[in-house]
Amino acid sequence: MTTPTDHQPWRTLTPAQVRDAMLDRVEERLARLLAEEHRARRTRDPRSAVLVAGVAELVQAGAERAHPVICLTGYLAAGGDPDGEDAVAAAAALELLDTCLMIREDVRDNAPLRRGIPTLHISHAAEHERNGWRGEPRRFGEGTAVLAGDLALAYGDRLAVRLPYEAWQWWDELRTERAIGAHVEAAAATEYLDDAWPGQCVSGCGSGCGAGWYGLRHALLIGAALAGRADLREAYEEYARALHGAWRIRGFLRGGPGFGGDAQFLRDVFFDERARAGAEETIAALLERADAAVATAPLAPHWRTELTAFARRVAGCE
């Protein structure tokens, strides 16, 4: 097994700097893929380049790259080669999956903005109306946006299909779980069955949860698989489960994405200072669980330290 410090160019860098260098390559991979696709489509039929341009604009508008960061963290902590190309491809695929689901969520919620720019269904509906095209602008905008989401996922699959089989299995399972989870979450909200307090995530949410822990779990396990470290599965799963619960409670307390409406009512009416203190104690206990999961795992000490620090950043404790 190799570790990042075995590679001379990386020896003077911190774990976070090594990961950031790999993230730069993920950005380059995404930009190159989308630019090549746009050029190829534009020369055949300008209309066929519209979907590519929409996906590219959204990807390049800026984001946390949450799942690529998690995947690369799992990969490097497992001793993955910082020069590895498969990990870069996997991280780029995860970002494209996020883009696909983001587009579909925007259509479902009729959101006007995403990352500071008009959402795709809104911009395409406006284009339809400006040009006086046949049919209903809203239906055209929504249909075009859904196709853009399909295209983003197709690009993600293109990158993931070349991964080693074990890593590809985790990818395949993740894309299925996230699609089902998104539907279950939307259906529960429509039926007034959604619970604003993320208690199920604290106890260990499973298949079908819209914000399921599998988002963390699968990204970490893809990284471990690419590093050839199946032995880390148990430790990574426990780390992901605890960290996800802490992240969800923090989101509830701050009123982040997914915690408006009923969650705001619950916070305003029932969550006094004492209740918030109890929630903070729960977050601290979950982070201790995450720490314990990596404390005895067969990882380099500096990566144990990084995973501990990473958990606190994700849970908003810094």
Q: What tens digit of pLDDT does each residue of 30-44 get?
A: 999 999 999 998 888
List the one residue out of 69, 108, 74, 84 whose CA is nearest residue 6: 84
Written as one letter, the residue type at 178 is R
- Give me the count of residues in the chain: 318
Written as one letter, the residue type at 36 is E
Q: How far is 148 from 52, CA to CA, in rounded Å?
A: 7
Residue keyed to tokens 């498969």? 86
Q: What tens digit of pLDDT does each residue of 201-225 get?
A: 877 776 666 677 888 999 999 999 9
Both tokens assigned to 226: 């690419």
pLDDT exceeds cutoff 50 at 1: no
- pLDDT recorded at residue 5: 44
Farthest-apart Cα atoms in the chain, separation: 64
More confident residue, 7 or 126: 126
What's the whole-number average pLDDT of the chain? 88
Domain positions in the chain: 1-163, 165-318
Fold of 1-163: Farnesyl Diphosphate Synthase (1.10.600)
Assign 19 to helix, strand or coil: helix
How many CB atoms neighbour CB 161 within 10 A?
12
- pLDDT recorded at residue 4: 45
Torsion, Cα 303 305 311 317, to 10 degrees, reads: -150
When mean pLDDT is compared across 106-110, 160-164, 303-307, the lowest value belongs to: 106-110
Q: How far is 223 from 169, CA to CA, in rounded Å?
A: 12
- pLDDT recorded at residue 44: 84
Q: How far is 88 from 85, CA to CA, in rounded Å?
A: 5
Both tokens assigned to 90: 């996997």
pLDDT exceeds cutoff 60 at 8: no
Give the percent of the chain with pLDDT over 70. Answer: 92
pTM for this model (two decimals): 0.90
pLDDT exceeds cutoff 70 at 67: yes
Phi, psi dihedral angles at 113 (to 5 degrees): -130, 150
List the one residue out of 257, 255, 249, 256 whose CA is nearest residue 279: 249
With residue 113 as reference, give the H or E element that holds it: strand 113-114
Q: What tens digit of pLDDT does each residue of 255-272 get?
A: 876 777 777 888 887 788
